[in-house]
Structure 1
Amino acid sequence: MPRITQQAKEDNRRRIIDAASVMFREHGADQVGIDQLMQTAGLTRGGFYNHFDSKEALVAEACRHAFDHQLRGLNEFLQNIDAADPVHALEHLARRYLSDYHRKNPAVGCPAPTLAVDAARHTALTQRQYADGVEEYLRTIMALQTSGLARANEPPSSAGPSDTRDDLENGGGCSPAPEELRARAVETFILLVGGMVIARAVDEAAPELSDEFLKGARDMIAGIIARPAG
């Protein structure tokens, strides 16, 4: 039997992570078995442990992959905003995140609302990946508050906290202090994730209430944007 090439092994690993990233967001990590996952990836169960020591290791990888994918898409979206657009880039982000499409498609959406419960129930390995993804979102939101556009031409994980701080401090004399920017970013992220969680939770039974939460979260984020420094 010919040995599998290194490229084929890497491709198979990627297929498993891609499948897990979607299935975990749609159904929950604890609701997806290895047999089901490997079948969806087009591979056999026996091959799973050639790539991962445990399911926990895959949950952590899938969580990181989902955040990376979302942040790349967000950066591409921000990069395509017309510089002359009068709508603040952070408001564009809120409209995109708190949208009907995102509400209806959790399997390909932000992992923050879909994997929060899973991360809480899993080990520090998964929670570390979840926390890192949240930090990337916060850095993006902080940059948007001052520059109007994220650093979309760089990979999501390329900018460390010191890089972001330099960007913010050079963003203009009327910008809020870094501590205030951080607090506003946390507040914004709570509204994004919390608004989406509740909107999805009542969507079929009470669609008007679901819409009310999406709109309410968007409006509150607009208020954060308009809030003067200090």
Structure 2
Amino acid sequence: MKVTKEQSAANRQALVDAASKLYRERGIAGVGLAEISREAGFTHGGFYGRFASKEELAAEACDLAFEASLSRLAAQLDKHGGDLGPFLKRYFSAAHRDAPGGGCPMAALGVDAAREGGLLRESMSTGIGAYLHELATHRPDGTVVETPTADDEARAIGLLATMVGGMILARACAGAAPALSERILRTSLEASSKAA
């Protein structure tokens, strides 16, 4: 039975959705194509013909994760009049730390992008740039600027580095040293809130 273009597009999207979640949970090297296909509801052969390579799938999965993350950031800024506080509280929560599959792509895939290079690195770089732009154009006083200044950009870089670094450290020690992980979350939230 021939698959329609719409169904083929939906099947492809299901693979990207599954890859985005699984890659953030376990890293690029930690997940095989067969597992991604199963998660999406297909056999291993479902991957072939839809993607040129695993690298292409990883980059699209990263793009999807950034799209969702940037959408959450923009929605929170709009909802709270530019106040980043509620977003930061959610970001530095135990729930976000413990569920990387639906969370920040930078904290989950940044090291993979540095190691893998290629399309994934390009996707990560584009996503980071978009994230920095969003943070830089939303100033702590609630104003939104079209073109950020060098100070706006420096503030955004410091803020994002604290966010991503704090989450990576909190996740790294959550199992072996939960009290330390909690302290890292609290301290990173405080530092980010001052910068925001």
**Cα drift, residue 149 of structure 1:** 7.0
**Cα drift, residue 211 of structure 1:** 1.4
Q: State TM-score, norm by structure 1.
A: 0.80
Paired residue secondary structure (2:176) = coil
Q: State TM-score, norm by structure 2.
A: 0.93
Query: Any gaps of 5 or more consecutive residues in structure 1?
Result: 151-162, 169-177, 226-230
Residue in 2 that maps onto 1:171: none
Residue in 2 that maps onto 1:43: 42
Structure 1 residues 97-116: aligned runs within 5 Å: 97-116=91-110
Paired residue secondary structure (1:49) = coil
The code of the aligned residue for 1:6 comes to K
- C-alpha distance in 2 between matches for 1:145 and 1:10: 39
Residue in 1 that maps onto 2:84: 90
Distance 1:79 1:125, change over 3 A: same
Residue in 2 that maps onto 1:195: 166
Residue in 2 that maps onto 1:136: 130
- C-alpha distance in 2 between matches for 1:149 and 1:13: 40
**Cα drift, residue 146 of structure 1:** 5.3
- The answer to whether the aligner puts 1:217 opposite 2:194 as a matched pair is no
Residue in 2 that maps onto 1:62: 61
Contact 1:195 1:213 in 2 (8 A): yes
- C-alpha distance in 2 between matches for 1:210 and 1:131: 27
Distance 1:191 1:32, change over 3 A: same
Identity within the alignment, %: 36
Deviation per CA, 1:173-228: give whole Å up to 9, x if none.
xxxxx001101100000000000111111112222211111111122123324xxx
Which moves more between the two structures, 54-63 or 68-77?
A: 68-77
Contact 2:162 2:188 in 1 (8 A): yes
The code of the aligned residue for 2:137 comes to A
Contact 2:107 2:167 in 1 (8 A): yes
Query: Any gaps of 5 or more consecutive residues in structure 2?
Result: none
C-alpha RMSD of matched pairs (Å): 1.8
Deviation per CA, 1:132-170: give whole Å up to 9, x if none.
1111111111122256277xxxxxxxxxxxx831xx4xx
Residue in 1 that maps onto 2:179: 208
Contact 1:113 1:197 in 2 (8 A): yes
- C-alpha distance in 1 between matches for 2:109 and 2:158: 19
Residue in 2 that maps onto 1:9: 8
Contact 2:76 2:86 in 1 (8 A): no
- C-alpha distance in 2 between matches for 1:104 and 1:210: 11
The code of the aligned residue for 1:11 comes to A
Residue in 2 that maps onto 1:73: 72
Which moves more between the two structures, 8-17 or 115-124?
A: 115-124
Which moves more between the two structures, 5-14 or 44-53?
A: 44-53
- C-alpha distance in 1 between matches for 2:27 and 2:193: 32
Paired residue secondary structure (2:47) = helix
Deviation per CA, 1:2-24: give whole Å up to 9, x if none.
32100000000000000000000
The code of the aligned residue for 1:33 comes to G
Distance 1:72 1:149, change over 3 A: farther
